[in-house]
Structure 1
Amino acid sequence: MVRDATGVPAKTYEYRYPQVPLDVDGYPVGPEGLKLEQVHVYVRHGERTPVGVRMNGPPACIPEYWTMCKTARRFNAAVSSLLQTPQEHGHGDMLPNQKIVERADGTLRDGECFLGELTDLGRQSTLSLGQNLRSLYVNRLGFLPDTLSKEDLVYFRTTNMPRTTESLQQIIHGLYPADKCHPSALPPIRIRNGKDENLIGNTYSCKRLEILQVSFAQAAAQAYNRTLEHLDNRISKYLNGNPIRVDGKPRASGVMDTIRASIAHGIKVPPEFEDKSIVDVIEQAVVTEWFADKTEEVRRLGMGPLLSDMTRKMQHKSDLGNSDPTKILVHSTHDTAIAAIAATLDVFDEKWPAFTASITFELFKKEESEPQSILPQSILSLLQSSPTSKHYVRMRYQNKNMFLPICSQKGDHLEGHPEFCTFDAFKARVKELTPDDWDTECSPAGRVL
């Protein structure tokens, strides 16, 4: 139960920011002749608490403390066998413990969430996503086996954040629960060091990208602060009298972070934040600040490495076929990645990605027969070769096919199906987005053209 700052149970209400569960029944199978070869999934983590305390005082009274994290509080702490034998503590080499929040005054609150933590609702929604992936790719399409017996069939990776890691754990459990996973095939959860991360725009390793993102935020403030002024008389009372601004205190993005998290969990928000005409104005400013990755340089440095990594794996699959066993790759990431992927490929809808929003890239193969030859059959039998194959990529976002501008021209997509981009056209665009010299392009001055 969520409580406000006085300890009184907070009121909840029915409206929630619309989620878009994976639609298994409405999934459009590929046209005849196309065979699904590999699936790459990118998922925003599940519902979480706000990353900061905002608007907790009157008149907004959004709770400071969220008691929505009762699950996953118990864990087993490994105890070195050099210090204790299993017989000494009676639990093998694992010691049961419980994680609990301690407030600044030393009091303990069982089930209370940390700031930015995946909540019980977030665990449930990511579990449901994994179950829907299973319903689609195992039960409906038969693309994946019912029981996982080889760990190299799947690939799971997350950013090094508790909320994305825990979201991925839930997705895995939904896709392959314990009774559907052979003990010898437990797949690892892959996490890269910060300097190697590409599931988000890596400002840690790329100073140039950091500089560009700061400039985008400044430009968004200059462009949208004036449009936010007319909201002051309705919003400022919830912000300690401060105006709502892109670079305000709190920032407009922080305000919307608190509002979106509250709505997702059924916590009542001030009525102004249920008014679409108000929320749309703030969202447009925030989306521009955070996700307006419009320049080619930002795209190269931000999502270029991720798309290059994905395309390389698709190429490996297309070259080796069944000799490459990996069929599904699931990545747990953040809203910044989901929006940036869509923006980089020119299909962003200018909306803040919802919790558990997902993008999939599906690699298909089409077998094509060799053209008839006028050579005698006796010679043809000696020259007989297997049919050639052509590969296509389909991008889907929130149950919708994305019609990529990069493959809109005739010959760059499957005839009659513009959503199926030829792999060649897709690769060509990704090559343009791939940094030639990462260190040079990421220097503060950037690449010299």
Structure 2
Amino acid sequence: MGVDGDESVDFFLLLDNIYAEQVHGLPSCPVLKDFQQTIERRCIDSLLFVLEDGSREVLQMSVGLLFYTLQKNITEAADPSSPAEKARKLILYASHDVTLIPLLLALGTFDRKWPPYAADVTLELYRHRQSKEWFVRVSYHGKEQVVKGCRAGLCPLEEFLKVLSQYSVSPEEYNNLCSQTEGNQQSDL
């Protein structure tokens, strides 16, 4: 790649460039194309190192506030005492590819591949007509996922909320985690 041993390489920047060129049909550096798999692997390895390959505390810091918000929104939507006209039918969140990886790790659905350009995670809440039970379906880039702790793609709401609760942190808990120092870590979360 023309990089000597003394130079640092930003694999994330290289991967972003490769994907942007591909998606927009732009010409790409042939050397980068040859090294695309290596570059992607280095990005995944680097990010997993930072995420401590799925450490609970690191995932709480990465997706804990989002999971807290998701729990709250899903619980409100499934609450029979909530007025139907106030229930939101669609909530959108936007993020970058590097943010999807901790989300997928926490859900137990990360395939150890870099998210493709414009990848998405979709959560759908369903209610069974006869039994009135609630279910959640998770899809990643259009493909149904089986979330860890769930038996199938259509996961009972209680099971799904249990998965979220493993990493969910309130704003107060998040601020507490942020203010900890290495020698001052708490184990009560």
Following superposition, the deviation at residue 318 of structure 1 comes to 0.5
| Paired residue type of 2:8 | K
Which residue does 2:175 correspond to in 1? Answer: 439
Alpha-carbon RMSD: 2.2
Task: Note if contact 2:14-2:39 (Cα within 8 Å) is conserved in structure 1.
Answer: no
Q: Which has the larger radius of gyration?
A: 1
Deviation at 1:291, TM superposition (A): 5.0
State the partner residue of 1:343. Answer: 105
Residue type of the partner of 2:186?
Answer: V
Runs of at least 5 residues in structure 1 that lack an aligned partner in the other structure:
1-234, 370-388, 409-417
**Which of 70, 76, 89 lines up with 1:310 in the alignment?**
70
Q: Does 1:266 find its partner at 2:4? A: no
Q: Secondary structure at the match of 1:310?
A: helix
Q: CA deviation at 1:348?
A: 1.0
Structure 2 CA distance, aligned partners of 1:258 and 1:323? 45
Q: Which residue of 2 aligns with 1:61?
A: none
**SS at 2:69's partner residue?**
helix
Judged with a 3 Å threshold, the aligned counterparts in structure 2 of structure 1 residues 299 and 346 are, in CA distance, closer, same or farther, namely same
1 CA distance for matches of 2:142 and 2:120? 9
Structure 1 or 2: more helix by fraction: 2
Residue 425 of structure 1, CA deviation: 0.9
> Which of 167, 186, 189 in structure 2 is aligned with 1:448?
186
Amino acid at match of 2:97: D
Aligned in 2, Cα 1:265/1:296: closer, same or farther, shift over 3 Å? Answer: same
CA positional deviation for 1:322: 1.9
Q: CA deviation at 1:269?
A: 2.0
Once the 2 structures are TM-superposed, how far is the Cα of residue 440 of structure 1 from its aligned partner?
2.1
The residue aligned with 2:144 is 401
**Pair 1:422-2:182 in alignment:** no
**What secondary structure is seen at the aligned counterpart in 2 of 1:303?**
helix
Shift of residue 252, structure 1, vs aligned partner: 1.9
Other-structure match for 1:363:
125
Instruction: Give the match for residue 282 of structure 1.
Output: 39
Judge conservation of contact 1:403–1:419 (CA < 8 Å) in 2: yes
* Pairs within 5 Å for 1:89-238: 235-236=1-2
Helix, strand or coil at the partner of 2:134: strand
What's the CA shift string for 1:338-373, capped at 9, x where partnerless?
A: 22211111111222222221110000011445xxxx
Residue-by-residue CA offset, 1:62-112 (whole Å, 9 max, x unaligned): xxxxxxxxxxxxxxxxxxxxxxxxxxxxxxxxxxxxxxxxxxxxxxxxxxx
Partners of 1:316 and 1:324 within 8 A in 2: no
Q: Secondary structure at the match of 1:330?
A: coil
Deviation of residue 407 (structure 1)?
Answer: 1.0
User: Is the 2:121–2:141 Cα contact (8 Å) retained in structure 1?
Assistant: yes
Residue identity matched to 1:296: R
Structure 1 residue 438 displacement after superposition: 2.2
User: Residue 395 of structure 1 aligns to a residue in which SS?
Assistant: strand
- Tell me the residue number matched to 2:94: 332
* Pairs within 5 Å for 1:52-71: none
Q: Which amino acid aligns with 1:347?
A: T
Q: Shift of residue 336 of structure 1?
A: 1.9
| Paired residues for 1:286-301 under 5 Å | 286-291=43-48, 293=51, 294-301=54-61
Alignment correspondent of 1:391: 134
With normalisation by structure 2, the TM-score equals 0.83
Question: Any idea what the Cα deviations from partners look like across 1:193-247, whole Å, max 9, x if unmatched?
Answer: xxxxxxxxxxxxxxxxxxxxxxxxxxxxxxxxxxxxxxxxxx12xxxx434x9xx
Residue aligned with 2:154, SS: strand
Distance 1:322 1:291, change over 3 A: farther
Secondary structure in 1 matching 2:27: coil
The whole-number CA distance in structure 2 between the counterparts of 1:321 and 1:339 is 35
User: What SS is found at the alignment partner of 1:401?
Assistant: strand
Q: When the two structures are aligned, how many residues end up with a matched partner?
A: 178
Q: Which runs of 4+ in 1 moved over 3 A?
A: none
Q: What is the distance in 2 between the residues matched to 1:284 and 1:315?
A: 38
Q: Is the 8 A contact 1:392 1:420 kept in 2?
A: yes
